[in-house]
A and B are shown apart, each in its own frame.
Chain A
Amino acid sequence: MDLYAVLFEPFVEFGFMRRALVACLALSLGCAPVGVLLVLRRMSLIGDALSHAVLPGAAIGFMVAGLSLMMMSLGGFLAGLAVAALSGLVSRVTPQREDASFAAFYLISLAVGVLIISTYGSNVDLMHVLFGTILAVDDASLLLIVSISSITLLTLAAIWRGLIVECFDPGFLRSVGGPGARLHLVFLILVVMNLVAGFHALGTLMAVGLMMLPAASARFWVGQVATLAVLSSSLALAAGYAGLLLSYHANLPSGPAIILVAGSVYVFSVIAGTRGSLLAQWLPRRHLSA
């Protein structure tokens, strides 16, 4: 078996593989920087919560219009936003912490979603929403995913400085009259949008994987916000490419294959990364003179 057949032929031969690869590229560009910011803001699990919250919205969209791209996306987006807004509201007006209120609302949302789908949809549809179908991404969903990535990158470029300051020293931003809560809201909208993009390809359960795993891996290699974003985008793309090949050759479902590759990258980074990894701690080099 030659290298060309292993690495390139599937994409040359089959249109659905090419579309899947483009979807992975777009997801990597949008999701990974958002993931880096989630990690820096200590909100990793909130991404996870929101990805579950998207489910009932997508289910209601499905109920109303069947397997309609627009309605399921819009429903998912609104449901994610509603959970983010309600959790934010509860944690602002009561002493409840944000992670606890997020947990409460996403669980309610998830249960509603499963209830709707198991009552009104067949199990195949449930599988579609839960696990996605990156190999069946059509032109319309591809366009949606690419649009979301573009909007994400443009928005991040515009509000980057504010997001960094709000994350690093929120008290300072407040004291100089900067826009704290509004930035947080825009950022949450970006998170939900990217989860909607991800759920078409990877399903609601694994959409958050391409967001968090590369971002969590990157911190073992580089130490600045910009390099973290670039590296995690690259890692996400590499995981997408390798995952698609793996699923093609080994005949595995593609979503889990992609996330498992990203997961392997994470485990490797934890063990062998250059910054604070296990090996770096176990095999210390001699100390410096100053």
Chain B
Amino acid sequence: MSVAFDLDDVTLGYQRHPAVHHLSGQFKSGSLTAVVGPNGSGKSTLLKGLMGLLRPLDGRIDRHGVRRSAIAYLPQQSDIDRSFPISVIDTVILGHWRRIGMFRRVSHALRQQAEEALISVGLQGFAQRQIGSLSAGQFQRVLFARMLLQDAPIVLLDEPFTAIDSKTTMDLIAVLRRWHAEKRTVIAVLHDHEQVRENFPETLLLAREPVAWGPTAEVLRAEHLFKARRMAESWDDRAAVCRRGFP
């Protein structure tokens, strides 16, 4: 089976302090992986590293030549100006960016696809609404519709279901499963272990250091979770230089 991301002793972090420490392993093409771990354990940082928004402090991430535009990335919500005067359909159409870019026309067919994407996330009749009038859950559905249009072979999701009700979560997990069935590589940061057990074949448990990585049932065992909780989250201003891997 081919590989989407190859991580070789990767350390990611900020101002030389590691947030993800010495992580090695592979995300296989077409896998559906949950990344779990306590707050501050480096989950979001890992996605930024995979996306290429953050350069590793050490080690290497091999994307096997995949361009950044072939990865659909849903960050935690804070980035977007929700009061911006833009309609739902225009937001969704941005998912066509690869096809329309800055200058090309949005054809009738592309618009049609955007309408269909809205229907498939349960937002029929919302096309002309302004995004400022949507609830958090509805807005998350809009972002999923946009990702549907991106049609990317790799999908990275950072806490997509935080502050989202159970009905919306169920609908959006159905979208994830559809992507998985279409053999796309899906990696999602999540907190709800039940959700992960039910829907994700693979799991990476992170607590800055990798605790376990593999089939979900084996990873989410009590001893691993206990170990993850105990691992220090501390940022030591006077931390010494990490000597691991050096004699």
B94 — nearest CB in chain A belongs to which residue?
Answer: A165
Indicate whether A171 sits within 8 Å of B79 (C-beta atoms), given known contacts A176-B150, A224-B85.
Answer: yes
Complex Cα distance, B88 from A196, in Å, reads: 37
At the interface, yes or no: A286 with Cβ under 8 Å from chain B? no
Contacts of B146 in A (CB 8 A): 172
Contacts of B79 in A (CB 8 A): 169-172
Task: Evaluate contact between B130 and A175: CB separation under 8 angstroms.
Answer: no
At the interface, yes or no: B102 with Cβ under 8 Å from chain A? yes
Task: Evaluate contact between B94 and A223: CB separation under 8 angstroms.
Answer: no
At the interface, yes or no: B64 with Cβ under 8 Å from chain A? no
Contacts of B226 in A (CB 8 A): none
The one of A158, A167, A223, A225 that contacts B103, using a Cβ cutoff of 8 Å: A158
Task: Evaluate contact between B86 and A225: CB separation under 8 angstroms.
Answer: yes
Interface residues of B in 75-90 (CB under 8 A from A): 75, 79-81, 84-87
Task: Evaluate contact between A223 and B85: CB separation under 8 angstroms.
Answer: yes
At the interface, yes or no: A174 with Cβ under 8 Å from chain B? yes
Shortest C-beta distance, A162 to chain B (Å), equals 5
At the interface, yes or no: B98 with Cβ under 8 Å from chain A? yes
Interface residues of A in 243-271 (CB under 8 A from B): none
B76 — nearest CB in chain A belongs to which residue?
Answer: A171
Complex Cα distance, B73 from A172, in Å, reads: 8
Task: Evaluate contact between A167 and B84: CB separation under 8 angstroms.
Answer: yes
Complex Cα distance, B97 from A161, in Å, reads: 10
Task: Evaluate contact between A228 and B85: CB separation under 8 angstroms.
Answer: yes
Report how many residues on chain B are interfacial, defined by Cβ distance under 8 Å. 27
Contacts of B130 in A (CB 8 A): 223-224
Interface residues of B in 82-140 (CB under 8 A from A): 84-87, 91, 94, 97-98, 100-103, 130
Task: Evaluate contact between A168 and B81: CB separation under 8 angstroms.
Answer: yes
Task: Evaluate contact between A175 and B51: CB separation under 8 angstroms.
Answer: yes
At the interface, yes or no: B244 with Cβ under 8 Å from chain A? no
At the interface, yes or no: A121 with Cβ under 8 Å from chain B? no
At the interface, yes or no: B68 with Cβ under 8 Å from chain A? yes
Task: Evaluate contact between B80 and A167: CB separation under 8 angstroms.
Answer: no
B68 — nearest CB in chain A belongs to which residue?
Answer: A177
At the interface, yes or no: A159 with Cβ under 8 Å from chain B? yes
Binding site for A on B (CB under 8 A): 51, 53, 67-69, 71-73, 75, 79-81, 84-87, 91, 94, 97-98, 100-103, 130, 146, 150
Binding site for B on A (CB under 8 A): 40, 158-159, 161-162, 164-165, 167-179, 223-225, 228
Across the A-B interface, the 4 shortest Cβ-Cβ residue pairs: A171-B79, A177-B69, A176-B97, A168-B84
